[in-house]
A and B are shown apart, each in its own frame.
Chain A
């Protein structure tokens, strides 16, 4: 049914349609509305046979899901930013134990400096944590991918994160087609766990493994993720057959086939990019975009295939490996290591900095001429950076970088210039 709803609400409805049995909730912006809505639905009786747990922390939230999933219940939670870091030990534990929990990450920057706005620092901090990580471009896709996520997780016996841009998606209202219960039931069978805590057949879960088997155990988790590279597109096709929508899959091409220059990104920013790139194509540039929908497992083969005619790639990413550079670009370079394709890395949108059409256009033009420095910090104000570096050179006790920088921008700086 078509509805004009907030992204978070749409996700809550999608999760409800998946018949979750245990949901744990802890507030952190920008995922909070999702669990609030789910809590209301459980309380109102709109989700049957479901326990809604108000836990004391994100560590507790995911730990509760570890217990409930191990006891054979379809389990869900959501988090963002600091919450992801707070639960990190449990993140690795859930995947190590092969528990098919689904978690929404309302993507948000990680502090310090504390910042509630969107970037992908949180999901990226867990990129090696053994979960599947599916990024979505729109709220419709968020709905569809959550439904696929439960099936994927349970099929693979691995946990899945659905990553959606905080505020940009979680808090925006748009028209979303909310599926019918019967459709979801057809697509998503009841949860049949591979291992379950059951007095009728006792087993010990989570025991100690030494050097004699640890490598093999790890290899198998790697292999399982690689298996998902086949399963994800298969499921997307089955999803399309029932729901009539192309949603999910490993990557999504936006006029990138045959293009000389391909912009690669994740998440919702492709929406703005599409408009800019259409304009540039009209002017005769051979340029298109491609999003990586499955960041873990990383779709190297699909990328190779999609980029077979490309000469140049510009990776645009809202995250940074401090001391190294781009994270997504690192992965893309690895996939393209034997190809004569130039990869340029652009870091942008950190901590919610707006990504404008004009800014993108300027950056793409530089990229087309191979003029982007490595890595390129999109829309950075270097004069502010230099002022701070100057301060640090001239005074020992130069103070808090974050505070100093803020004094140099916005209202404070404006007041000084009057």
Chain B
């Protein structure tokens, strides 16, 4: 990332295992929010997410970073979904910040309303985020989301993309990749799993609204995730960040592989990380160590069938998608792998 300060660039994180590392290698001011004593724990422990839940990890880092950026003056509107359900079974709540859940499809509109209220009251020091899963964002909440973008309301929308409707038992959403097994795209018939050639890329759709800031991030690179949230908070208007959050339950993966899977998705080209301002791409995270798509797929039972000889064409289709991403976003530098 071009924005990483000089001092930090000296430190390279070659993560090979599943552990996020690095804070102790950095000078104090470049350590991430979670490594500091003054982190807010906005999403506190004791919630009921599954072990290894990428969404819980992503939310904790994203919201704490947004809290720091807003001087703890932050209100969140949450869509229905795992994040809402596992954090707030009344009378308990895992949120130590003002937080509202209204409906599945209206988080961005509720957030827009909060932002309007704050503006009317002259409280623009208080910032607003909306958050939801991929289903709540790319499908049922899409109309409201587009409205928030259209009006350029002062809201940061964070989508936790685990590529299916997890809370209702793993059904396909428009963010589910081809071939993936879900409860509504079972691995049966000629083309098992989800069909290819469907779905939508909401970060690109967000860019088409010419909003000031759009980014994708992943829970394997928490420094980058925090940087992007912090960057988004420096800007006023509608902003969109999509965080790639593996879901052990829905993907059939080991809880301990969540961070590894997030990294493999990015390093294989399956999930490109980029930033865009006013509709133009301004930064791309280059792939450090290009890995085969199969490395990423083989750790997930939702893709088990693509390794059967009869379904070799599905594996090829997935590889073609990764290649297209690499081409389209220029994910591998011309000189070869980044040193």
Instruction: Find A67's partner among B89, B109, B143 (CB 8 Å cutoff).
Output: B109
The answer to whether A66 touches B98, judged by C-beta atoms less than 8 angstroms apart, is no
A59-B105, A66-B113, A199-B73 known; A73+B121 contact, CB < 8 A: yes
A60-B143, A63-B103, A198-B98 known; A204+B113 contact, CB < 8 A: no
The answer to whether A202 touches B95, judged by C-beta atoms less than 8 angstroms apart, is yes
Distance, CA A54 to CA B106, complexed state (A): 15
Q: Which residues of B contact A203 (CB under 8 A)?
A: 98-99
Interface residues of B in 89-117 (CB under 8 A from A): 89-90, 93, 95-103, 105-106, 109-117
The answer to whether B88 touches A63, judged by C-beta atoms less than 8 angstroms apart, is no
Instruction: Find B110's partner among A63, A73, A204 (CB 8 Å cutoff).
Output: A63
The answer to whether B122 touches A49, judged by C-beta atoms less than 8 angstroms apart, is yes
Distance, CA A202 to CA B101, complexed state (A): 14
* A87 nearest in chain B by CB position: B106
A67-B111, A71-B117, A207-B90 known; A53+B101 contact, CB < 8 A: no
**Is the CB of B324 closer than 8 A to any CB of chain A?**
no
Interface residues of A in 77-128 (CB under 8 A from B): 89-90, 93, 97
How many residues of A are counted as interface, with CB atoms below 8 angstroms from the partner's CB atoms? 42
**Is the CB of A414 closer than 8 A to any CB of chain B?**
no
Most A C-beta atoms less than 10 A away, residue of B84, B115, B116 = B116
The answer to whether A67 touches B147, judged by C-beta atoms less than 8 angstroms apart, is no
The answer to whether B113 touches A68, judged by C-beta atoms less than 8 angstroms apart, is yes
The answer to whether B99 touches A22, judged by C-beta atoms less than 8 angstroms apart, is no
**Is the CB of A55 closer than 8 A to any CB of chain B?**
yes
Instruction: Find B113's partner among A49, A50, A67, A208 (CB 8 Å cutoff).
Output: A67
A56-B143, A60-B143, A207-B89 known; A67+B102 contact, CB < 8 A: yes
Q: How many A-B residue pairs have CB under 8 A?
A: 155
Dominant secondary structure at the A interface: mixed
* A56 nearest in chain B by CB position: B147
The answer to whether B110 touches A64, judged by C-beta atoms less than 8 angstroms apart, is yes
**Is the CB of B183 closer than 8 A to any CB of chain A?**
no
The answer to whether B97 touches A199, judged by C-beta atoms less than 8 angstroms apart, is yes
The answer to whether A71 touches B118, judged by C-beta atoms less than 8 angstroms apart, is yes
Distance, CA A213 to CA B73, complexed state (A): 32
Q: Which residues of A contact B174 (CB under 8 A)?
A: none
The answer to whether A56 touches B144, judged by C-beta atoms less than 8 angstroms apart, is yes
Q: Which residues of B contact A268 (CB under 8 A)?
A: none
Measured CB to CB, the closest approach of chain B to A42, in angstroms, equals: 10
The answer to whether A208 touches B89, judged by C-beta atoms less than 8 angstroms apart, is yes
Measured CB to CB, the closest approach of chain A to B155, in angstroms, equals: 10
Q: Which residues of B contact A340 (CB under 8 A)?
A: none
Interface residues of A in 209-259 (CB under 8 A from B): 209-210, 213
How many residues of B are counted as interface, with CB atoms below 8 angstroms from the partner's CB atoms? 43
The answer to whether B99 touches A75, judged by C-beta atoms less than 8 angstroms apart, is no
Distance, CA A198 to CA B106, complexed state (A): 20
Q: Which residues of B contact A206 (CB under 8 A)?
A: 100-102
The answer to whether B120 touches A21, judged by C-beta atoms less than 8 angstroms apart, is yes
Interface string of A21-35 (1 = CB under 8 A from B): 110100000000000
Measured CB to CB, the closest approach of chain A to B75, in angstroms, equals: 5
Q: Which residues of B contact A197 (CB under 8 A)?
A: 75, 98-100, 114
Distance, CA A197 to CA B147, complexed state (A): 22
Measured CB to CB, the closest approach of chain A to B121, in angstroms, equals: 7
The answer to whether B151 touches A54, judged by C-beta atoms less than 8 angstroms apart, is yes
What would 6 more interface pairs be, CB under 8 Å, given A65-B113, A69-B117, A197-B99? Answer: A53-B116, A63-B144, A66-B109, A67-B112, A70-B113, A204-B99
Interchain residue pairs with CB less than 8 A apart (21) = A21-B120, A54-B151, A55-B112, A55-B147, A59-B106, A60-B143, A63-B103, A64-B109, A64-B113, A66-B106, A68-B113, A68-B120, A70-B114, A71-B114, A75-B113, A93-B103, A202-B99, A204-B93, A204-B95, A207-B101, A209-B90
Q: What are the 4 tightest A-B residue pairs by CB atom distance, in nearest-first order?
A: A67-B113, A56-B147, A73-B117, A64-B113
Interface, chain B (partner A; CB < 8 A): 72-75, 77, 84-85, 88-90, 93, 95-103, 105-106, 109-122, 126, 143-144, 146-147, 150-151
Interface, chain A (partner B; CB < 8 A): 21-22, 24, 49-51, 53-57, 59-60, 63-73, 75, 89-90, 93, 97, 197-199, 202-210, 213
